[in-house]
């Protein structure tokens, strides 16, 4: 069961969210640092810089290689991203200046990571405030 009532009837997964949905979620969230983790992307000239920022923001281990394979490994590893983390909020994704195909691959990795965590009993909502190619919108209740 999700810590946020707005998400309680929606399956865990990766979604694009609107500004209104973001405001609603933020108002209902408890102040648990472990339950929700946020990554606000600064302007990045490529995906490697953006992934490096994400690794720092989420305190990924030294072996994290700032690439999409390592991102998948870290998001799925309960020793890296705690099982108690229920929401990963990604903001300012539009600041990542990289080809659309690379953003689509990033979206696929995020979808796969959320699915893998669910299969392993660690449901995770990955919510993006900016649309990524191929991400479905968060369903309305």
Question: Where do the domains of the chain lie, and which CATH numbers do they carry?
Answer: 10-128 (3.30.370.10)
- How far is Cα 74 from Cα 88, in angstroms, rounded to an integer? 13
pLDDT of res. 65: 93
Six-digit token pair at 68? 């999409």
pLDDT of res. 139: 86
Nearest to 9 by CA among 136, 125, 108: 125
pLDDT of res. 28: 62
Q: What is the pLDDT of residues 21-35, one digit of tens each?
A: 888 777 766 555 567
**CB neighbourhood size of 1 (10 A):** 8
Nearest to 124 by CA among 135, 113, 109: 113
Q: Is 136 helix (H, G, I), strand (E, B) or coil?
A: coil
Where the chain has pLDDT below 70, the residues are 1-6, 28-34, 141
pLDDT of res. 1: 43
Any residues with CB less than 8 A from the CB of 38 and at least 6 apart, and which?
57, 88, 89, 90, 91
Buried b vs exposed e over 24-54: b needs ≥16 C-beta within 10 Å? bbeeebeeeeebbbebebeebeebebbbbbb
């Amino acid at each position: 069961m999700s810590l946020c009532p707005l998400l309680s009837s929606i399956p865990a997964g990766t979604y694009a969210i609107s500004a209104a949905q973001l405001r609603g979620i933020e108002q209902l969230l408890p102040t648990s640092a472990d339950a929700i983790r946020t990554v606000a992307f600064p302007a990045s000239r490529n995906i490697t810089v953006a992934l490096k920022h994400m690794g720092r923001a989420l305190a990924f281990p030294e072996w994290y290689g700032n690439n999409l394979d390592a991102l998948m490994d870290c998001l799925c590893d309960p020793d890296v991203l705690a099982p108690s983390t229920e929401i990963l909020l990604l903001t300012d994704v539009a600041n990542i200046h990289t080809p659309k195909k690379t953003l689509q691959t990033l979206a696929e990795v995020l979808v796969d990571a959320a699915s893998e965590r669910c299969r392993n009993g660690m449901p995770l909502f990955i919510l993006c405030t900016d649309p990524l190619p191929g991400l479905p919108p968060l369903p309305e209740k």
